[in-house]
Each structure stands twice: as structure tokens, then as C-alpha cells.
């Protein structure tokens, strides 16, 4: 009989281990914004989030979901990441350009979106990383 992991334990572990990619993301976002102040928030977020997602993949596949790393799984994961990053970057850009809810620094807007993006990304990463990819 297959033993299934406790979902609360997995979510807690995911949340704790996401501090590493979070610091990578926010740190790169801040550095890029500081050195390239005229660069669009869309591009700043795409660069910082892409690097953070790669860090996250390595952590998630090894310590949280405990799956064997395969090129097919990585390609599916990267495809999802690009879609997710593009989606959240556009939301971020829209909020910044339209000063919604009010004018604020770029890093604050990014921080406001984080809880929502964490939840969405957890659900999809859980599906993607635990999905059994059949290879011949």
C-alpha cells in the first residue's frame, strides 16, 4: 500500500524552502531596479523571477516533492514557469502603470502579488513535479 505524504507538512515545507528563491527574486529585482532605473518593471520581474524559478526547481524537486529530475519534467516545468512569469509580470506592469491601488515603489507592488503567486505556483508545481511522466 502506497503511503501518501501529509499535505499540511508538504505545504509547510514548501513555504519554508521558498524563502531561498524569494530572497534571490527580491534581491535581483532590487539590484536590477537600482542599477537600471529606466528598465520596465515587466523586464525586471521577468529576469529576477526566471532565475528564482530555476533555483526553486532544484529545491522543489530535491527536498519537497522528492522526484527524480528528468529533462522532460524540467521542460514542462520551465514552460509553466515562463507562462507564470509572463502572466504575473504583466499584472505587475499593469498595476504599476495605472498606479493601482496607488503610486508605490515597484518592489512593494511585487511584494503585494507574492502571496497569490505563491499559492498558484505551489498548486501547479505540485501537479507538474509529482505527475508521472512516462518515457520510453
Residue 90's pLDDT is what?
Answer: 92
Segments of the chain scoring below 70 in pLDDT? 1-5, 63-69, 128-136
* Entry field: residues in the chain: 136
CA distances from 101 to 7, 64, 94, 97, 114 (A): 34, 35, 11, 11, 16
And the C-alpha cell for 34?
A: 537600482
Residues 117-135: pLDDT tens digits?
Answer: 888 877 877 776 665 544 4
pLDDT for 124? 78
DSSP state letter for 36: -
- In angstroms, the Cα distances linking 64 to 55, 67, 73, 91, 129 are 13, 9, 15, 28, 10
pLDDT for the residue numbered 133: 47
Distances (CA, A) of 52 to 10, 27, 28, 59, 60: 20, 10, 9, 11, 12
Q: pTM above 0.75? A: no
Distance CA 14, CA 59 (A): 9
Q: What was the pLDDT predicted at 64?
A: 66
In degrees, rounded to 5, the angle at the alpha carbon of residue 63 between the alpha carbons of residues 26 and 21 is: 5
Listed by start position, the domains of the chain span: 7-130
Amino acid 28: pLDDT: 95
Rg of the chain on CA atoms, in Å: 16
Amino acid at each position: 500500500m502506497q503511503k501518501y505524504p501529509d499535505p499540511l507538512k508538504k505545504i509547510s515545507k514548501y513555504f519554508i524552502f521558498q524563502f531561498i528563491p524569494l530572497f534571490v527574486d527580491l534581491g535581483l529585482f532590487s539590484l536590477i531596479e537600482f542599477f537600471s532605473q529606466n528598465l520596465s518593471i515587466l523586464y525586471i520581474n521577468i529576469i529576477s523571477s526566471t532565475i528564482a524559478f530555476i533555483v526553486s526547481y532544484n529545491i522543489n524537486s530535491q527536498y519537497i516533492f522528492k522526484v527524480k529530475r528528468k529533462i522532460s519534467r524540467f521542460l514542462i516545468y520551465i514552460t509553466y514557469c515562463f507562462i507564470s512569469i509572463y502572466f504575473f509580470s504583466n499584472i505587475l506592469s499593469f498595476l504599476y502603470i495605472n498606479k493601482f491601488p496607488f503610486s508605490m515603489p515597484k518592489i512593494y507592488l511585487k511584494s503585494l502579488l507574492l502571496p497569490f503567486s505563491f499559492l498558484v505556483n505551489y498548486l501547479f508545481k505540485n501537479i507538474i513535479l509529482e505527475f508521472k511522466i512516462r518515457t520510453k
